[in-house]
Structure 1
Amino acid sequence: MASDRADKAKKWTEETIRSFVTTHDISTRTELFHRSQAAYYAANEFEGLMLDLFGPIRAETKWSAERIREYVEENEIMSRTALAGSAPGAYKALKRYPKLAQDLFGGAWQTR
């Protein structure tokens, strides 16, 4: 399997990886991994490429109310379910802001 990975990675250059990321509107390392493991592994071979494409790892780990609102608006999230699928961390953090949840999606926040 490692040799398969190496063979697939041979076709990837820094330029083709950048193009792939741009063409497919990939915004995270995880998304790149799911789209193409070969591109992901190849990108890790180019010093600084992942940092350049996606920024530092875990640059923002906390979801503030403002950040959740911005994310929902920028990504046109229309429901709590869509938010949970798109950004599970934001969905989980939204429980700390029941008024924000109501403002964004209407209805009362159900706590269990």
Structure 2
Amino acid sequence: MRPRQKRQFARRLRRTMTDAERRLWFHLRDRRLLGFKFRRQVPIGSYVADFACMQRRLIVEVDDGQHGACLADAVRSMALQAEGYRVLRFWNNDVLLQTQAVLEQILAALDGHPRDRLSRIPHP
């Protein structure tokens, strides 16, 4: 995908966010999470990350049920890590029902705790 096409795709994703992405964005936008700046639907390398804190090189991905244990997600995470980013993945359901726990894990990753590599809150 060309850079211009990727930007247009990212813009479309911003307009069609899932409920879980909208909920998480509410807490991440405008430096609401302890002053850390997050961007949404950010083109990085060959991918578009759901949320990214460029300052801490942290990417937060929000996945629905179709992503469970998906090989493509693992490849995507490895590619983003090769670009120097840490990747956190959360289920939509967890973002919607356990928002505070998700935010705490994001804060822990921003603080550099070791558990931030490809962590995922267990799905009930």
Q: TM-score range by the shorter chain?
A: under 0.3
**What's the TM-score once normalised by structure 1's chain length?**
0.26
Larger fraction in strand: 2
Structure whose alpha-carbon radius of gyration is higher: 1
Using CA pairs under 8 Å that are at least 6 residues apart, name the structure with larger relative contact order, 1 or 2: 2
